[in-house]
Amino acid sequence: MSKIHPLAYVDPSAIVADSVTVGPFVHIQSGVVIGADCIIESHATLVSGTTLGERNIVGQGSILGGDPQDRKYHGESTFLNVGSDNIFREFVTIHRGSGEGTATTIHNKCFIMGYCHIGHNCTIEDEVTIANYSGVSGHATLEALANIGGMTGIHQYARIGKVAMVGGMSRIVQDAPPFMITEGNNQTVYDINAIGLRRIGVTPERRMALHRACKLLYKSQLGLSNAIDIVKQEVPITEEVDYLLKFAARRFQGKNGRGDQP
């Protein structure tokens, strides 16, 4: 039997696994699906169109699956799809997609801290961490293992590369490169995310190749297209360097990395 507090409201049509715990004053609307061993803490709301996998924790006062904040949205059927083993702390808000049949997607093992907001049609990949009071605008993508510092604002359509570290109180209006530390109002790329790379087993030789690529791409003032060509000639093309070059080249492939719709 699900452990549902008597002061919670769970719509009879919601699908709630037997091992789910639901706290007082929770509101679970029709059409919600909640997988095994999830914990829904007091005063949280799960809106129609929301699906949770297993072992998620939804903190007090959080609202998952709210209507998108988009002038083009007119009540069409949209979704929020959440994987497993995620933690959403107090008063997190995540909106469904905007556009018939679209979805916002949160993958697995993410840690979204208190008072964060994730907008419509976002994709948050595995093991992303977003610190308190950060806002992620619509259609943004945060790749796996990205780490976002507190009070950061991320522009719509921006992409944060995998294993990136974004410093607190940053203003992200362009794509932030993978494996790098990016920070500040001017979105400065400082160097490789050495700690994050060590944690996932990237060897010193591969980290040095990334460091050399970083200097050429973001510190040399060569211009990005010229810098990419020089990296290809002078830097060992490890798996990480290859990924970084492909990420940087997106702006030359109709995806300009400035927060505009590609």
DSSP string computed for 39-56? EE-TT-EE-TTEEE-SS-
Instruction: Note the pLDDT of residue 259.
Output: 44
First to last CA, the chain: 47
Instruction: Note the pLDDT of residue 253.
Output: 75
Instruction: Note the pLDDT of residue 74.
Output: 97
Structural domains for the chain = 3-193 (2.160.10.10)
Using CA atoms, how far residue 242 sits from 51, 79, 105, 230, in Å, is 35, 34, 26, 13
pTM attached to this predicted model: 0.95
Helix (H, G, I), strand (E, B) or coil at 20: coil
DSSP string computed for 179-192? TEEEETTTTEEEEE
pLDDT in tens, 183-216: 999 999 999 999 999 999 999 999 999 999 999 9
What CA–CA distance (Å, rounded) separates 94 from 255? 25
What CA–CA distance (Å, rounded) separates 240 from 10? 46
Spell out, as residue ranges, where the chain has pLDDT lower than 50: 256, 259, 261-262
CA triple 37-40-41, angle to 5 deg: 135
What CA–CA distance (Å, rounded) separates 217 from 13? 54
How far from chain centre, in Å, is Cα 231? 29
